[in-house]
Chains A and B, each alone.
Chain A
């Protein structure tokens, strides 16, 4: 389909704007825009049809099953959109006086209290904009905490080899060095290897638990002891918190700092890539370093507290993504203590899929899983030359969004599947049938998988050509032609998901 710019007709417009009866203002000539930006020129029906057509070429949870591992693609209750759109929230200016923002402040305070209870840690800052920013904030907190104790020599963070890429990237951005601990045969951290890595320069561990393999680390108490005995801290990546709400709390596992993903566990819609929310919770000893402002309660009133001399500062504007807080708060209030059943259902659904698929796809760690699990297509690759990518693309023909693939890195040809608590048994069964049929096809008609998908708006893409051309905007009359020789790699095995 055409780009919106290719539909543009000079002089057409959708907007109508007020024209107040006041004299025009002046701008110094050398600061005034010489040539207008080439924005689209269309009437409103054309704009609406354009975006409606784009929507129909997009797959969301509303469209169908979306088992993208580690992304927790659960149903987004529409009542949360309704309440986030209440004018008292939607149209509230962030510089409004505190006495005129009491409802917003109370909502944030209440959400902090809830998150503290879920994590088993006393102090919460809602400010970080996403999980990855929560991670970075957590590492900044570690740095500030150790500097305050005169232990700035602690310059190293340990992450698991199953960690999300964000963990090592955050470590670098926070100015720490990185060490990686291996995974043992049961899918837990390799304790022996871990002991060789932890020393006087260790600042902390970053861990997802359950891990990206969907497995709860059975030695978590011992892991925590190793770090705490060395004077180091433990950071909990909350990407997989949907497995353990009301069942086990990171604070009780021994973690000192936690981030939540409000867009995963607590159903902020993913929005095609965002927004998210990445609050952090910490132990009392780390609270003085949290970002400002803190939202605090004084008797019956709520206020913003900037008087935190040891704070790391601000990691984003204002108090954080407030609209995300409204949705997450509403989501949690609809469950109450029933959050535990939410996690139980998510774990049940994942184990059901696992049980029904493990005879046709390899299961690298043969245990019950938590909320997600990782299968491998390496058998199909070895026998029939069919890859995880081919399986993923063929799933599209069944109108399922593929799982996360090629991640975690420790599993070859990985297919990482997270059904969430949203899905009914019939949907899970249909997915099982599709996956089993694809495994049969791999043996009988592998070319069917190699050429998949067959019924989407486009066929497989030439990703190498995209990177080579690096055409990332429309060039109008100077737009480069697409007709050059195709670079033509079909097997760009990069992680897709999580």
Chain B
């Protein structure tokens, strides 16, 4: 090969690298590991993590231990999906393109929206994307977020906001829920209002009233929703929202210490040319046969460069595909059953904890699969003590909310049982 190139050594190929910037020594890295040694090393690291199969976990707070069906693993292990890249060449990628088109359809069905992109990074960055859309649609330079919106989502919006020329205003929660009247006045002159349904406390907001309040002020209502809830909870598109966003993890993705997962971003049709990210469209080939292709690319960075709707190239296609497979496995009936099961288990857990003398943080509020309970001591201390009994009782809300130091956010998925709930009660009351 060197002969064909016309050099006598590989080093000659690097003559274009100035001597003064060459490393000139081996990288200071540990020696290479063979495959069995590598697996043993990683197994040793993994063994020092207490995963949800090793203790009884009621942790949620944005990431949920839902069951991932085996068929998801089977599909994601297909090398064609795993090792392809963005389908720039549609003739080589019809299967992938069709899968993303189907994903977009499923997201629109769940959310009641008209259009969806091919996925965003996660449930936090899609909120920043929504702000960017709203900024350009309305020309306004303020965004409103509910305090009951996931704290990490709010943090990411605040990180992005200065670059977008946006100011971020928070509307406090009142007893665990957001007050539509406060939203209405905050939304005056705002580009959008982002609220979460169910909110970070697990509480069911009066979402239609919040959307109406934003619309009254000419701000785009943006609902941050849990895909697993949308078999039982109304779709944002059916109560006046302009955009629907969310964290996809619960649909098809393992916890994986917080990623990689996917965020979804769906909108009413009128905003399709403002959306960031990849979008797949239906067309025909030159023989008139139906086919799918990356479309509306004039929104995108590789065409529009500094005038693009986003800088996004790599997205989360494989994780979104997992979501599509999970939701196809569930079907409409399965998704509704799953929602009813989570809801029923959460209600049962509330009753059992109250029966054992614990108080709910927001006893007046309806919830879905998650709720806040007062631990009678610091939340962190309650977690420590319960974990000694092999139970992780939930997320200590004091981490994010001043004044809620004694509260735990408890999540129920279909993987928990009534017997597990008895162990939770015992761990929190011991």
Q: Which residues of B contact A120 (CB under 8 A)?
A: 23
Inter-chain contacts of B285 with A (CB < 8 A):
458-462
Q: Which single residue of chain B is at the shortest CB-CB distance from A397?
A: B91
Contact B344 A25, beta carbon cutoff 8 Å: yes
Establish whether residues A48 and B75, one from each chain, have CB atoms under 8 Å apart when the complex forms: yes
1/0 per residue B11-22: CB within 8 Å of A?
011111110111
Please give, as numbers and ranges, the residues of chain B lying within 8 Å of A154 by CB-CB distance.
Answer: none
Provide the bound-state CA to CA distance between A81 and B38, in Å: 12
A270 touches B71 (CB 8 A): no
Q: Give min CB distance, A26 to chain B, whole Å.
A: 7
Whether A48 lies near B71 (C-beta < 8 A) is yes
Rounded to whole Å, the gap between the CB of A31 and the closest CB of chain B is 6
* B125-A470 in contact (CB<8A): no
Report whether A104 and B38 are in contact in the complex, using a CB–CB cutoff of 8 Å. no
Quick check: B52 and A60 within 8 Å, CB to CB? no
- Nearest CB of A to B253, in Å: 9
**Do B93 and A59 touch (CB < 8 A)?**
yes
Would you call B45 and A76 a contact (CB within 8 A)?
no
**Residue A444 CB within 8 A of the other chain:** no
Quick check: B162 and A333 within 8 Å, CB to CB?
no
**B391 on interface, CB distance cutoff 8 Å:** no
Contact A318 B329 (CB under 8 A): no
* Interchain CB contact (< 8 A) of A103 among B45, B153, B279, B315: B45
Which chain B residues numbered 70 to 110 have a C-beta less than 8 Å away from chain A?
Answer: 71, 74-75, 77-96, 98-102, 104-106, 108-110
- Please determine whether A103 and B47 come into contact, CB atoms closer than 8 angstroms: yes
Chain B residue with the shortest CB-CB distance to A319? B258
Cβ–Cβ contact A319 & B257, under 8 A: yes
A162 to chain B, nearest CB (A): 12
Determine whether the beta carbon of B84 is less than 8 Å from that of A272: yes
Task: Tell me which of B67, B80, B259, B305 contacts A318 (CB under 8 A).
Answer: B259
A259 to B304, CA, bound (A): 22
B159 at the interface (CB under 8 A from A): yes
Residues in A73-88 with C-beta less than 8 Å from chain B: 73, 76, 79, 81-84, 86-88
* Bound-state Cα–Cα, A233 to B28, Å: 26
Q: Assess A22 versus B347: contact at CB under 8 Å? Given A165-B308, A248-B17.
A: yes
Quick one: which of B81, B83, B86, B282 contacts A466, CB cutoff 8 A? B282
Rounded to whole Å, the gap between the CB of A217 and the closest CB of chain B is 9
> Is A352's CB under 8 angstroms from B92's CB?
no
Which residue in A88, A107, A316, A496 is a CB contact (below 8 Å) of B156?
A316
CB distance from A410 to the nearest CB of B (A): 13
The stretch from B179-187, B214-222, B331-339, B353-361 touching chain A is B331-339
B429 to chain A, nearest CB (A): 19
Interchain residue pairs with CB less than 8 A apart (5): A247-B14, A272-B96, A317-B156, A323-B254, A335-B32
Given contacts A104-B49, A459-B287, 16 further A-B contacts (CB under 8 A): A20-B418, A22-B345, A28-B366, A33-B234, A39-B106, A48-B71, A52-B75, A54-B96, A62-B82, A91-B51, A136-B163, A164-B313, A273-B100, A273-B118, A335-B32, A460-B91
